């Protein structure tokens, strides 16, 4: 781990919902790999004895009376952590505790966030792999920086930087997307470290239809979190072009301007103005309040 552990204290945060079977194996390995780290399990309304497993292994457990979501668990853990450096990893056994040291070493090179980037073989199915590839491509285009894994939940970050964006993080599963784009927007350097993710222990909590719709919304969230004008200007230009094409067609065939062209042009102006307002709101959102 280089000099990171000597200069900075480390907190490892694991959101968990009914992950007791995985935690039985994961927590002892984490303790061996990171004996001086603070380990926090955020029990998101589990009903399988997760708290008992944590108590048996001497690990701090924050319990919720009901499920609030993966992002909510991340926020609770980040607020409770005492370390200068935070590592977030899933409690389902997918992430290798040995990779924690690799992330911290990379962080010590001057980055504010290091993300464990999964390869194609580590994706949970072809559909998820294609969706994640689309997100990575779009985020790379928006930010101008290569994004190797936008949705990975395995990441190390500096606590003070991460807590700046707690108010932006959703309570659901898209906290990795939000935090990554927030760091890029605020010019905090982000790096990626290749990792291998194992098959999770137990059943996934992701629902294909409900979460599929939610993931589609992430595409728009990527743009609005980083630079709304990059989303709204092309849409505005498309409406303007459609209005011009419609006007040319109706003028040639009917010799007049129709309501359709006017509607397209009006939509173009409205979308552009919405983009300007969104850009100002985004700028205010990321303004630091020290």
DSSP structure class, residue 83? -
Burial classification of residue 229, based on how many CB atoms lie within 10 Å of its CB (0-12 exposed, 13-18 middle, 19 or more buried) = middle
Residue pair 172/70 in contact by the 8 Å Cβ criterion: yes
**Is the same domain home to 197 and 82?**
yes
Distance CA 287, CA 24 (A): 42
- 128 and 252 share one domain: no
Name the residue among 148, 146, 158 with its Cα closest to residue 194. 148
pLDDT at site 73: 94
Q: Does one domain contain both 110 and 82?
A: yes
- Between CA 121 and CA 119 the distance in angstroms is 5
CATH number, residue 121? 3.90.550.10
- HSE, CB side, 13 Å, CA atoms: give it for residue 270: 7
Q: Are residues 204 and 234 in the same domain?
A: no
pLDDT digits (tens, 9 = 90+) for 9-45: 999 999 999 889 999 999 999 999 999 999 999 999 8
**Same structural domain for residues 190 and 174?**
yes
Is the same domain home to 24 and 132? yes
Both 215 and 239 in one domain: the answer is no
Q: Would the pLDDT of 226 be above 70?
A: yes
Instruction: Mark whether 221 and 232 lie in a shared domain.
Output: no
- As for how many domains the chain has, the answer is 2
The helix (H) or strand (E) run that includes residue 13 is: strand 10-16
Residue 155: domain span: 4-226
Tell whether 290 is covered by a domain: no
pTM, 2 dp:
0.77
* CB 94, CB 198: distance < 8 Å: yes
Are 130 and 142 found together in one domain? Answer: yes
Residue 239 parent element (H or E): helix 228-254
pLDDT interval class at 280 (50, 70, 90) = confident
User: Does residue 47 sit in the same domain as residue 178?
Assistant: yes
Which residue would you say has higher pLDDT here, 38 or 182? 38
The rounded mean pLDDT for the chain is 85
Domain co-membership, 148 together with 263: no
Q: Does some domain include residue 218?
A: yes
Instruction: Let me know whether 96 and 202 are in one domain.
Output: yes
Q: Give me the percent of the chain exceeding a pLDDT of 70.
A: 84
């Amino acid at each position: 781990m280089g000099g990171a552990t000597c200069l900075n204290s480390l907190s490892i945060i694991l959101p968990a919902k009914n992950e007791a079977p995985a935690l039985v194996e994961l927590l002892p390995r984490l303790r061996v790999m990171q004996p001086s780290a603070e380990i926090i399990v955020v029990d998101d309304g589990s009903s399988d004895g997760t708290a008992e497993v944590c108590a048996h292994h001497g690990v701090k457990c924050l319990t919720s009376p009901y499920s609030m979501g993966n992002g909510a668990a991340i926020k609770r853990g980040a607020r409770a952590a005492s370390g200068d450096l935070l590592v977030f990893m899933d409690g389902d056994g997918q992430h290798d505790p040995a990779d924690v040291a690799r992330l911290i070493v990379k962080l010590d090179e001057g980055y504010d966030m290091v993300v464990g980037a999964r390869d194609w073989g580590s994706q949970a199915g072809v559909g998820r792999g294609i969706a994640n590839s689309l997100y990575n491509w779009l985020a790379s285009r928006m930010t101008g920086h290569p994004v190797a894994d936008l949705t990975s939940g395995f990441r190390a970050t500096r606590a003070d930087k991460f807590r700046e964006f707690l108010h932006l993080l959703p309570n659901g599963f898209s906290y990795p997307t939000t935090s990554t784009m927030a760091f890029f927007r605020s010019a905090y350097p982000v790096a990626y470290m290749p990792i291998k993710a194992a098959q999770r222990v137990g059943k996934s909590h992701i629902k294909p239809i409900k979460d599929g719709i939610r993931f589609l919304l992430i595409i728009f969230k990527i743009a609005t979190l980083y630079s709304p004008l990059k989303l709204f200007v092309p849409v505005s230009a498309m409406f303007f072009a459609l209005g011009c094409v419609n006007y040319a067609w109706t003028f040639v065939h009917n010799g007049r301007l129709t309501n359709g062209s006017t509607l397209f042009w009006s939509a173009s102006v409205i979308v552009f103005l919405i983009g300007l307002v969104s850009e100002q709101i985004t700028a205010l959102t990321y303004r630091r309040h020290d």
